[in-house]
Structure 1
Amino acid sequence: MIPFTPEKVVWAYSMGIFPMYVEEEKAILWFRPERRAIIPLDGFHISRSLAKTIRKGRFEVRINTAFEEVMRGCADRPEGTWITEEFIQVYTELHRRGLAHSVETWREGRLVGGTYGVALGGAFMAESMFHRETDASKVALAALVQRLKERNFVLLDVQYLTPHLQRLGAIEIPHQVYLQRLQKALELPCQFI
């Protein structure tokens, strides 16, 4: 069993593995799916309505000002969550070490959406996102993609393909292809901040 520590999370990501709490097992398990979902940075799809929301500046975008709050927002789901207190502690420590980051959307001084993940080399492993207002998480994701492009990142990992992510441009690739892209990305000297 791989221990759940910041060091092991970094090691796992660099090997194409990610952690997730599984309620049935009452444990954090490690996953390496045969097909991996990514968002090609040049393939991110912004709908007309989302582009309009971004142009209007309805949300203020901030980086790393409320990391733990973003995680808690992502964990606050009526259907339950895999983001346990242990996850929050480990990823907050990764944030303190400069490896985990949040992109947040704010309106009228309130956090209304965001996404978070871990940056290693030129790869960003997005973990989750949330919204309290329509389009708040999509604006955060659009800002994340823009930042990654500006800083020469080459891989945005979103783990599993969902219909929502597919509408935003996510695709699935075989695990071996993912590993090749990951290894190239890890060699890059990119800085998220």
Structure 2
Amino acid sequence: MNWPLVRLRPGDPFPPADQALPAGAPFAGLLAVGGRVDADSLEAAYSQGIFPWFGPGEPPMWWSPDPRMLLAPHDLKVRRSLRQSARRVMDNADYSLHVDRNFRRVMLACAAPRRDTAETWIVPAIVDAYSALHARGQAHSFELWCAGELVSGLYCVARGGMVFGESMFTRVSDGSKILLMALCGFCLRHRLGPIDCQQQTPHLANMGARPWPRPVFLQILGQALVKPGPPSWQYDRSQFQRDCAPWL
């Protein structure tokens, strides 16, 4: 079967998200190829339920999979071992929790090779584009520091009342999971979410995310975009302890 695929020139508008390649097609969920990756294109893409994902040497690829993996903040699964890790970190004065202390550094750490793969989709063009989006106040990083060193990070996109989780890294046990707790607690306090996790993975399912049909996701997105975002993205240890008290 011949699957049509939109090819974009710089500045072209995105096609509707429901025109992405269907399940069963090669590259299911792929919507378009080409165009430009910058803050303007990211704003437009996320507002329509679309995100970029491509590797080094590849043209920009834009995706809108069906189903879509979403995590409702109140559905986060915090197991006993994670509760213990969170308490241990919060009781250690060497650790501190921040938002947006060094967004670009978090992205670069997320892009670094990992034990299971040397490949990354966080190519330099992606780092530059999301850093520009961060400068506009529409992308944020949750960060865990220990003795002055960045040891875990998570970054996300925020549009209105919707949050889009992008990537995370950790150099300490359960560090990225603790930051996901912080993000979920923050979302609950500000009535944000659900958190878009984009792709289905066993790890996300174990944390409480579940697949939603794309039409439902797009409806949720449309409702969330008209809501105001939080007045501030500042965050610290005391806020974490209040927001995450039900899990601790």
Please give the TM-score of this superposition, normalised by the length of structure 2: 0.74
Q: CA deviation at 1:175?
A: 0.4
Alignment partner of 1:110 is 2:110: no
Counterpart of 1:145? Answer: 184
Alignment partner of 1:180 is 2:219: yes
**Alignment match of 2:87 (pick from 51, 55, 62):** 55
Q: CA deviation at 1:163?
A: 1.1
Deviations 1:74-118 (A, max 9, x none): 101232100011111111111111111000111121111111011
Deviations 1:43-68 (A, max 9, x none): 01111111112122154211000101
Counterpart of 2:101? Answer: 65
Does structure 2 retain, via aligned residues, the 8 Å contact 1:34–1:174? Answer: yes
Counterpart of 2:28? Answer: none
**Structure having the higher Rg:** 2
Counterpart AA for 2:100: N
Counterpart AA for 1:31: W
| Aligned residue-pair number | 192
Alignment partner of 1:77 is 2:113: yes
Deviations 1:150-190 (A, max 9, x none): 11103200101211111110111010010011111111112
Q: RMSD of the TM alignment (CA)? A: 1.3
Show structure 2 runs of 5+ residues with no match: 1-7, 9-34, 234-248
Counterpart of 1:99? Answer: 138
Return structure 1 stretches of 4+ with deviation > 4 angstroms: none
Show structure 1 runs of 5+ residues with no match: none
SS of 2:77 mapped into structure 1 = coil
Identity %: 35
Counterpart of 1:30? Answer: 62
